[in-house]
Structure 1
Amino acid sequence: MSSECGSGKSSWPELVGVKGEIAAATIEKENPFVTATIVPPGTSVLTVFRCDNVYVWVDKNGIVIRTPVIG
C-alpha cells in the first residue's frame, strides 16, 4: 500500500488492543499524510480506497479490534 500512497507508515498492527483515541493520535503522528477516523460498531464507511485515510475499528469499549491500514 505504501507504494501506491507514497512514503510513510501504512499499517499499525501494534495498535490492536489499544484505546481508539490513542491509536488515532499515534497513527497521525507516525504518518502526517493521513487522517485517522475512529469507527464504532455498526458504523457504515465508504469502501473507496484513499491514501489519506485510516479507519480505526473499535469495539463497544473503544478498543481497536483490527489492524489499522491506509485505505
Structure 2
Amino acid sequence: MAEESAQRKTRWPELVFVNFCTAARIIEKENPDVKAIKILVDSPRIQNFDISRVWVDCNIEERVVKVPSVG
C-alpha cells in the first residue's frame, strides 16, 4: 500500500482559477490520502509539512489562485 500511495498525484496546476469546491473534490478523488483545506491567499498558516494536507489558496471569490500541492 505504501508503494501505491507514493504514486498518487501531489500537484494540481490545472486547478488554478477553478472554484474551491470543484478543486477540493478533484484533489481528494485523485489522491484519497489527502484533505483539501481552503485558505485565503496570503493568510498565515501552519508551516509544518504534512503529507495528508493540501493547502488550497483561494481569493475572496473562492477561486484557486496558486497551484495546490501536498504539504
In structure 2, the residue matched to 1:22 is 22
For structure 2, list consecutive stretches of 5 or more residues without a partner in the other structure.
none
Runs of 4+ in structure 1 off by over 3 angstroms are none
Larger radius of gyration: 2
In structure 2, the residue matched to 1:36 is 36
Q: Does 1:62 align with 2:57?
A: no
CA contact (8 A) 2:41 2:65 kept: no
CA contact (8 A) 1:21 1:38 kept: no
User: What TM-score does the superposition give when structure 2 sets the normalisation length?
Assistant: 0.86
Higher strand share: 2
Paired positions, count: 67
For structure 1, list consecutive stretches of 5 or more residues without a partner in the other structure.
none
Match for 1:39: what amino acid? Answer: I
CA–CA distance in structure 2, aligned partners of residues 51 and 34 of structure 1: 7
User: What TM-score does the superposition give when structure 1 sets the normalisation length?
Assistant: 0.86
CA–CA distance in structure 2, aligned partners of residues 25 and 19 of structure 1: 10
How well do the aligned residues superpose, as a CA RMSD in angstroms?
1.4
Residues 14-70 of structure 1: CA deviation (Å, up to 9, x unaligned): 000000111011100000000000112463211101111000000011000000000
